[in-house]
Amino acid sequence: MAASSEILEALGDYQVQCNGNARLRRMQKDWTKRLHFQARETGDWFTMVVVQGEITDFATGTEGTPDIVVFAKSEDLCDMFWGDLNPSQKYLRGEIIVKASPEDVMRLDAITMIIWPDAAS
């Protein structure tokens, strides 16, 4: 089980990776979203804000009305943000649940492909 602080640390790394990737920023310039994540076994919530492709904020708790809500085990959240896990296979197995429009689900997968092209399944 990953602690909330570890997930935040992973989120910080994810922010650096995303915001520093010119290809991703160009691809995502039309994407402004608010995401909520919940670590299922701990019940901890996290909020991430993306404005025109840039991750501008992340924090514990739920803030605002989300466009996308992700439920996953805390370790999967950590691994996903570190880039050690390709979330697509876990999504297809029903272990990661995403409540979002089909376009946003595909966009999350596209982000993964760009920044973590060789992430494990």
Partner 1 sequence: MDAEATNSKAIKTQALHDFAEYVNPMKARILAHAGLDIIEGRREGARVWDVTGRSYIDCITSAGSFNAGRRNPHIIAALKAALDELDQGIFLICSKAKADLAKRLAEITPGDIKYSMFGASGGEVVDFAIKLARGYTRRPRIISTLKGYHGHTGFALSAIGRDAYQDPFRPLMPGFDRIPFGDAEALASAIGEDTAAFIIEPIQGEGGIQVPPPGYLRAVREICDRAGALLILDEIQTGFGRTGKLFACEHEGVVPDIMTLGKSLGGGLYPITAAVFREPLGDFLVANPYIHLSTFGGADLGCAVGLATIDEIIGQDLPGHATAMGERFMAGFRQLQAKYPEVLAEVRGRGLMIGLQYLDQSMGPRMSYQLAQRGVIALYTGNDPSVMRLQPSLVISPAEVDEVLAAVDGAMAAIVAGVADEPAARGKETRRRRPRETEEV
Could you list the residues that contact partner 1 (CB under 8 A)? 2, 6, 10, 13, 30, 75, 78-79, 82-85, 88-95, 97-98, 101-103, 105-106, 109-110, 113, 120-121
Nearer to partner 1, 52 or 89 (CB): 89
Nearer to partner 1, 10 or 55 (CB): 10
Q: Residue 27 has which token pair?
A: 């691809």
Nearer to partner 1, 13 or 63 (CB): 13
Q: Residue 1 has which token pair?
A: 């089980």
Nearer to partner 1, 43 or 94 (CB): 94
Taking the complex as a whole, the smallest distance from the CB of residue 47 to partner 1 amounts, in Å, to 21
Taking the complex as a whole, the smallest distance from the CB of residue 46 to partner 1 amounts, in Å, to 15
Taking the complex as a whole, the smallest distance from the CB of residue 106 to partner 1 amounts, in Å, to 7
Closest CA to 70 of 92, 91, 42: 91
Taking the complex as a whole, the smallest distance from the CB of residue 118 to partner 1 amounts, in Å, to 8
